[in-house]
Amino acid sequence: MNEFSLIFRNEQNPDAQFSPEQMQNILKQWRDWMGGIAAQNKLANPGNRLGIEGAVVRKGNVVTDGPYAEIKEMISGFIIVQTETLEEAIELAKGCPVFNAGGSVEVRSIIPISM
C-alpha cells in the first residue's frame, strides 16, 4: 500500500460570511467525503485544516505576514490516503468538496522515510 497526500487549495476570503446553515452544509460535505474514504479503509491520516492566520519566514529572518495578497490560491488543508496506485488516489480526490469553492486538489506521493 502506498500513501498519497491530497492537498487542498482555494481562494481564501477572510471577509466571507456564511449563515449557520451554509456552514453546517459545508461541514457535512467534508465529513461525508472523508467518512466515505475512511469507509473504504483508504484514509491513512485525517490531516489538518489550515487557518488564514499565518506568516512566511524567509532566509535572513525575513517575515512576511498573511493574508498573502500575492497568492491567489492558498493551501487550506490536507489529508493522507492509502491506495495502491496514484490513479486510485486521484479517483478519491474527484469527490472533494473543495471544488464547490472553486478550489483544486493536488495529489502527491509520499516518500516513506526509513528510520
Partner 1 sequence: MQKNEELIPHLFRTEYSKITIVLAKLFGFENIEVAEDIVSDTFMIAAETWGQKGVPANPVAWLYTVAKNKARDHLKHNKLFTDKITPAIKNNSTETYEVEIDLSEKNINDSQLQMMFAICHPAMPAEAQIGLSLRILCGFGIVEIADAFLSNKETINKRLLRAKEKIRSEHIKIEFPGSNEVSKRLDNVITTLYLLFNEGYYSLSKNISLRKDLCLEAMRLTLMLAENELTNHPAVNALLALMCFHASRFEVRTGRDGESVLYEEQDTSLWDNSLITRGEYYLNKASTGNKISKYHLEAAIAYWHTTKTDPPEKWQSILQLYNNLLLLEYSPIAALNRTYALAKADGKEKAIIEAEKLNLEGNYLYHCLLGYLYTGVDAQSALKNFKAALKLAKAQTDMAKIEQYIQELNGSL
Residue ranges in contact with partner 1 by CB under 8 A = 28, 31-32, 34-36, 38-41, 43, 46
> Residue 31 or residue 72: which is nearer to partner 1 going by CB?
31
> Residue 11 or residue 84: which is nearer to partner 1 going by CB?
84
Least Cβ distance, residue 53 to partner 1 (angstroms): 22
Least Cβ distance, residue 29 to partner 1 (angstroms): 11
- What is the Cα–Cα distance from 27 to 78, expressed in whole angstroms? 15
Q: Evaluate whether 57 touches 63 at the Cβ level (below 8 Å).
A: yes
> CB burial class (10 A; 0-12, 13-18, 19+) of residue 14?
exposed
Residue of 11, 4, 1 whose CA lies nearest to 74: 11
> Residue 19 or residue 41: which is nearer to partner 1 going by CB?
41
Least Cβ distance, residue 76 to partner 1 (angstroms): 18
